[in-house]
Structures are given as structure tokens and as C-alpha cells.
Amino acid sequence: MTDQAQRPTIHEVSRAAGVSISSVSRALNGQTRNPDIIRRVHEAVQSTGYVPSTIAQSLRSQRVGQIALAVEDIGNPAYLAMVRAIQPALRAAGLRLVLHSTDGIVGEEIDVVQNLGNGYVDGLIICPIRPDASLIEAISRSPVPIVVIGSVPGGIAVDNVRGQSTEGAALATAHLIDRGSRRIALINGPGDTVPGQARPKGYERVLRANECYDDNLVEQADAFTFEAGYEATKRLLVRGGEFDGLLGITDRLALGALHALRNAGRSVPGDVRLVGMDNSEVATTAVPTLTSVDLGAVERGRLAAELMISRLENREQSPRALAVAPAVVERESSR
Amino acid sequence: MTDQAQRPTIHEVSRAAGVSISSVSRALNGQTRNPDIIRRVHEAVQSTGYVPSTIAQSLRSQRVGQIALAVEDIGNPAYLAMVRAIQPALRAAGLRLVLHSTDGIVGEEIDVVQNLGNGYVDGLIICPIRPDASLIEAISRSPVPIVVIGSVPGGIAVDNVRGQSTEGAALATAHLIDRGSRRIALINGPGDTVPGQARPKGYERVLRANECYDDNLVEQADAFTFEAGYEATKRLLVRGGEFDGLLGITDRLALGALHALRNAGRSVPGDVRLVGMDNSEVATTAVPTLTSVDLGAVERGRLAAELMISRLENREQSPRALAVAPAVVERESSR
DNA sequence: TTGTAGGCGTTATCAG
DNA sequence: CTGATAACGCCTACAA
């Protein structure tokens, strides 16, 4: 908080060291052999308290050293896990992370993508949740590299890391059947979202294959929150169809379901076996601990960062699509 | 991902519009009346696809439009709540958020503060967790404004928003006594951290005032994680002192305690009343729901952002210290 | 090996 | 009101 004594520039250093600014620049970037100059420059840097301006460097190099990350809601445990994986990977590569939490508003997302043009970041990692046409459009004509986490609805060519959530939901459903449940309910998320469309498919497929699908057991939450999961489950209970298993398409929704069941006097897993998805921290800390499908959030985050880093080094390579396999992590709620 | 057709600059626009670059700049910044020029410039912007370079703007204006946020662990629900409050406040002021999750490593924090000199952000909001001398030092001579969330150990002059966690712990303890507990255990965090030092004080003060302090009931977790809380509580149980109340100095620690108690066959709140701190989302979703002390994380985040924004507008005003009052939010775990 | 000068893309000052 | 020009701070041909 000491005040703006106008930060010293390379000129001050050059004056203090008695050499030209180019020599200072070279000395600082290791382009000089002359030990005398190197010493004098470093002394001058010390005495002046000089720090190179990243802005000026960026203007010249046309690189900012920053990557934007756009997620719907940083509070969503699944995204949180990704952020925690992405940040260290970027830092290791000398990149900063600019965080955008868009509240799932498509307009905000498009905003982020369109502002990419002004060059405040070298790239964008985005987890789009609603397959909006103009978003896809904006992504496809972005001036900077983009890595998409999740499936790319438009089928456009872009680096991406998929999570195979349809398969994940299928695994979860099969797991419940395995444990003995036959009447399995689903708490879905908003129908206009990617997971809200993909995950029920896996659920339905497995149940139909086992001839126990009943669409009366499907209820939709209007957001990916605990409260929405709670309310949806209450509606399901009111409707009165019996069930002995329940799949929440995210851990948060499943937790909401857990509370609703508990309030209705249904025990978990005694009366109802419960499974969530994302395998986030809340699955471990819930009581009972929550069986959940690991969709590889951490792995996907890490891979996304790596795709981005490698893309920055070579912009010509063709887009790569990676996929991470899901796996059920069994805990108390489904035993 | 369309390729780098060299983004158009103001020169391209000026050429396309048939006016000088100064006129373009003025037209874009609303410094021009002439409707003809305005129209031609906007058409040229459309046709060229021009977007101003923020980097170049920053170089001129000496402002980046970015604020750094340094927290120990974005996965910690208390910090998460802050981030969720800070981000929209900054965005509303046209500022981006650069996130640093330092893993509680003091070196990383100091790094962040020292790199401030290169001007990649206009300011820093930091939640220091360990009162390190050289960190304080670095903060006090920062070239850009800093807002500290939490207490400022060195007593240095800097904008800050405190959370009064000692008082919060006192409230929590008093609440347990109120509900009828007398033998109250404490799961503390690491002793070299600010909360690990402040919160036990409030606990001890209230217990001594009620003549039921017993340091045999205090156990220290070696991190602010669920697992650490679990392990610490197991140690407490092994040691064998009886208790009918337990305060975890964060919700995560309290959740760890909840699981340890449950595994030991102690019911909550039947055998042990349980209280956490931070009033984070996990407190609402826990089973039983967790009584917790709200230390105003959201409010503090919002205030910190506001302090920063007002500081950027007027660097001369003297540092302000705000405090947010804690409040117990009672839920099932202590009834 | 060292220094001089131009340019990265903007905005602001100052003539015309 | 418009347009040429000089910064902002850095790096790097190129010239000495």
C-alpha cells in the first residue's frame, strides 16, 4: 500500500546500470554472456526495485499468459473439482486463470466467448451446459483456442474432453439393479441442459432392457441445486408411485432427495437405495455416505488444461477429442 | 478456432471507414458528435470484425481491469462462498477475477503478492491463513491496492474485512451450553493458522466463565479437511474423555467429527450436540443438518469487493477496517 | 558485444 | 471537428 512512486521502467534500470535498455532486456532474458553487464543490471534492478511490466510484454509478444475458465456455477461440486485440477496445471505452465462463473445464463457465456476477441486471454476452457446455437456459433469462430469440457452439441471441430454421462447413468442404474432394486426413480435436472438430456437416456436404456422402466418414476428438478432436488423428490413422493431405488443425476440432487426421503420416513439404503453422480466431495461427507458415479471431473480438468497448453504450442494440429470413462464408487447409500 | 487471420487493428478500421484512427477511437469512445463519422466507423467495425485490444488499452491506461483473489483452497466451502460473492461484484464493476488457489503454502502467497509488481492486476484480495512475517512485509509494500479478508496480524494499515471468529466460537460454545451441554469438546485446526489460534480462544473463554473448561477435550486436526476432522475426532474418542457437545472450528471439521461419532455409535444430537463454523452449504445438506456459526462469508466477500472497487477510484483515502458480526444458525445437530 | 530505433495497438494532446 | 503524432514499456532486428 506504499504509494504509487511510479513503478520504475527499464529505462530507470538502464540509467542506474549505465548501460542501454537493450542490454538490460538481454541481461534479464539471459541473452548476454558479459558477466559485468549481468552483475550491474542485477544490482540496478535491486536498487530500483524494477519489475518488468507484463502488459508491455504482452503487447509485444501477443500473449497474455492467461486462460479463461467459464463454468456455470463454481459452487457446483463437479465444476469445483475441475477448477482444482485445472488451476495447478495452468500454473505449472506459467499461466494464470481467469474465472467466469456464468450462473448458467447462456447470454453470459456467449459474452465471454465473444469478448475473447479483445485478447485478454490466450485461450478459453468452457463447460457449456445448454446447447445453444449461437454459443456454438461463437465458439466455432473464436479467435483464440477453445477447449470444451463436455460434449460438443454442434459437432463442431474443437478440442474437447467428454465425460460420457449417458454411460455413467447407465452404470448407476445397473448398479441399483445389481443391488436388488427394481422400481428405480430418477431425479433429473433441467431438460434444456446437456446432462439433463444425456443422463436420463442411460437410465432409461438399462431399465427398459430389464423391463422395469416406468416413466411415472421420473421427476425433473428445475435447477442443479440441493433445494431443487429436495422439491422434485417431494413431488415424486406425493405422486405416490412406489420405488426402492433412486438415481439423482448429480450428487447435489441426490442429497436433496436424501433429505426428502428422510423427511418422508424412508430410510436410505433400507427402503430406498440412493445413487448420485459426479463423485464430488459431498458424496464422501454425506450421511450415509453416497454411492456416486465418478465421471472423472479431476481427470477431465487436468486433460483440458493439457489440451490447452499443447494447443498453445501448436495451433495447427487438428482438434482432439478425449473421453474419460465413468466408474461407480460404491458407498453406504446403496448397500 | 478459425485461424489467426491477424486480428484487425484500429488502422484497418480507419482505412475501411476512410477516416483517421483518432476519429475511429473517438467514435468508439463516444467522443464524437458527427453522426456521419459515427455511422461509417460502425460500419467499418462490422465489416472488419474489429475488436479493440485490451492489452493495448491497458498499456495506455495503466489499468488492466483485473483483480486477483488469493485463497488457501477454493475447495474450502468458506472461501467458495466468498468467491461466489466477489465474482459478481467485480463483474458488475467491469473487472475480471484472476484466481489463485495457493494450497495454504505461504511461499505461494508471497509469490502472488510479489508478482503484483508486474502489473498483471489492479489489485489483490487475499485471505491469508498463516500470519507469516514476510507475507505481512510483502503486503505492506505492495505497489497495488490490497484488501485483506480476515484479521491482519501485523497490525499494518490495509483495507480489511474481519470475521470475528473468536466471538463466533464463543457464540457457538454458549449455544451448546444453552442447549444443555457441559462437557464440550473442541476440534481445532492447525495451530499455526489464524483461525486455529483465534477460535479456540472464544471457546475457552466461555467454558472458563462457566467453569467447565477441560483441556483434555481439545484435539487438533492437522488440516482444514473432512479427513483431518475425522481423524482428530477418532483420537479424541480413543483418549476417552466423555463429552456431550462438540465444536468443530469449521464445517468440514465438524462433518469429519460427525462421521467419527457415528462410527463410534454416538448419535448426534442425542449423545453429542454438534456445531460447526462458517455456515457453508454443507451445513444445510448434512444429515442431520448442521448447526453452524455464520461468519458472514458472503457478506465479507461482497464488502471486500466493494472496498477494492472504491479503493481503485480513490487511492488516497485511509485504509478502512470492516467487521461482520457472527450469528449462530441453529439446525438439527444441536437441538 | 553493445546501442539505436521501430513497432506492438491504443488514447490523448495539440495543431490545423 | 478532424488528423497527425507522441507516448505507454517492452523486445529485437539491425547497425555500429
Which amino acid, residue A219?
E
| Residues B4, B7: Cα–Cα separation, whole Å | 7
Give percent of chain A with pLDDT exceeding 70: 99
Q: Which residue of B lies nearest to A80 if distances are taken between CA atoms?
A: B75
CA distances from B30 to A125, B25, B34, B42, B264 (A): 33, 9, 10, 12, 70
Q: Is B118 within 8 Å of A59 when comparing Cβ atoms?
A: no
Q: Is B287 within 8 Å of A262 when comparing Cβ atoms?
A: yes
Query: Could you read off the pLDDT of B253-275 as tens digits, one per residue?
Result: 999 999 999 999 999 999 999 99
Residue closest to C2, CA→C1'? A23
Cell output for B178: 444453552
Of the candidates A87, A118, A145, the beta carbon closest to that of B51 is on A118
| Residues A108, A70: Cα–Cα separation, whole Å | 9
Strands (E), B159-290: 159-162, 184-188, 218-220, 245-248, 273-277
For residue B5, the model assigns a pLDDT of: 58
Using a CB-CB cut-off of 8 Å, the residues of chain B touching A7 are 117, 119, 143
Q: Which residue did the predictor score with more confidence, B104 or B120?
A: B120
Q: Provide the CA A63 to C1' D12 distance, Å, integer.
A: 16
- Give the mean model confidence (pLDDT) for residues A146-162: 89
Number of H helices, E strands in chain B: 13, 12
Query: Could you read off the pLDDT of B61-86 as tens digits, one per residue?
Result: 999 999 999 999 998 989 999 999 99
A4 pLDDT higher than 70 = no
- Give the mean model confidence (pLDDT) for residues B36-45: 95
How many Å lie between the alpha carbon of A91 and the closest alpha carbon of chain B? 9
| Residues A126, A147: Cα–Cα separation, whole Å | 6
Buried b (16+ CB within 10 A) or exposed e, A45-71: beebebbbbbbbbbbeeeebbbbbbbb
Query: Could you read off the pLDDT of A68-79 as tens digits, one per residue?
Result: 999 999 999 899
Strand partners, A292: A276, A329
Using a CB-CB cut-off of 8 Å, the residues of chain B touching A115 are 51
For residue A260, the model assigns a pLDDT of: 98
Question: In chain A, what is the straight-line distance between the N-terminal and C-terminal CA atoms, in Å?
Answer: 57
B303 pLDDT higher than 90 = yes
Residue closest to C9, CA→C1'? B56
CA distances from B53 to A23, A114, B8, B27, B67 (A): 29, 13, 10, 16, 19
Q: Are A247 and A292 spatial neighbours (Cβ–Cβ below 8 Å)?
A: no
Half-sphere exposure of B260 (CA within 13 A, CB side): 23
A1 pLDDT higher than 60 = no
Nucleotides of C under 7 A from a protein CB: 1-5, 7-13
Q: A5: pLDDT confidence band, cut at 50, 70 and 90?
A: low
Q: B130: pLDDT confidence band, cut at 50, 70 and 90?
A: confident
B152 pLDDT higher than 90 = no
Question: B interface mutation test: which of A6, A9, A57, A99 has the most B CBs within 10 A?
Answer: A99
Of the candidates B1, B49, B99, the beta carbon closest to that of A146 is on B1
Residue A19, CB, strand C, below 7 Å? yes
| Residues A274, A268: Cα–Cα separation, whole Å | 7
Q: Provide the CA A333 to C1' C12 distance, Å, integer.
A: 67
For residue A149, the model assigns a pLDDT of: 95
Average pLDDT, chain A: 93
Of the candidates B54, B59, B84, the beta carbon closest to that of A74 is on B84
Q: Compute the C-alpha angle A107/A113/A115, nearest 5°.
A: 100
How many Å lie between the alpha carbon of A143 and the closest alpha carbon of chain B? 6
Query: Could you read off the pLDDT of A189-240 as tens digits, one per residue?
Result: 999 999 999 999 999 999 999 999 999 999 999 999 999 999 999 999 999 8
Using a CB-CB cut-off of 8 Å, the residues of chain A touching B2 are 140-143
A286 pLDDT higher than 60 = yes
Q: Is A2 within 8 Å of B142 when comparing Cβ atoms?
A: yes
Question: A interface mutation test: which of B48, B71, B98, B99 has the most A CBs within 10 A?
Answer: B99
Q: Which residue of A lies nearest to B289 if distances are taken between CA atoms?
A: A259
Of the candidates B84, B115, B258, the beta carbon closest to that of A101 is on B84
Find how far residue B324's CA is from the centre of its chain.
14
Cell output for A155: 459437432
Of the candidates A1, A49, A285, the beta carbon closest to that of B255 is on A285
Residue B53, CB, strand C, below 7 Å? yes
Find how far residue A107's CA is from the centre of its chain.
18
Which of A181-190, B38-47, B149-158 has the lowest average pLDDT?
B149-158
Q: Pick the closest to residue B321 from B126, B151, B198 (CA basis).
A: B151
Average pLDDT, chain B: 94
Using a CB-CB cut-off of 8 Å, the residues of chain B touching A286 are 285-287
Q: A259: pLDDT confidence band, cut at 50, 70 and 90?
A: very high
A129 pLDDT higher than 90 = no
Give percent of chain B with pLDDT exceeding 90: 84
Residue B216, CB, strand C, below 7 Å? no
Q: Provide the CA B114 to C1' C7 distance, Å, integer.
A: 30
Q: Is B120 within 8 Å of A54 when comparing Cβ atoms?
A: yes
| Residues B39, B44: Cα–Cα separation, whole Å | 9
Q: A153: pLDDT confidence band, cut at 50, 70 and 90?
A: confident
A3 pLDDT higher than 60 = no
Residue closest to D13, CA→C1'? A22
Q: Pick the closest to residue B16 from B36, B42, B34 (CA basis).
A: B42
Q: Is B59 within 8 Å of A55 when comparing Cβ atoms?
A: yes
Nucleotides of D under 7 A from a protein CB: 1-5, 7-13
B1 pLDDT higher than 50 = no
Q: Is B1 within 8 Å of A66 when comparing Cβ atoms?
A: no
In degrees and rounded to multiples of 5, residue A328 shows phi and psi of -80, 130
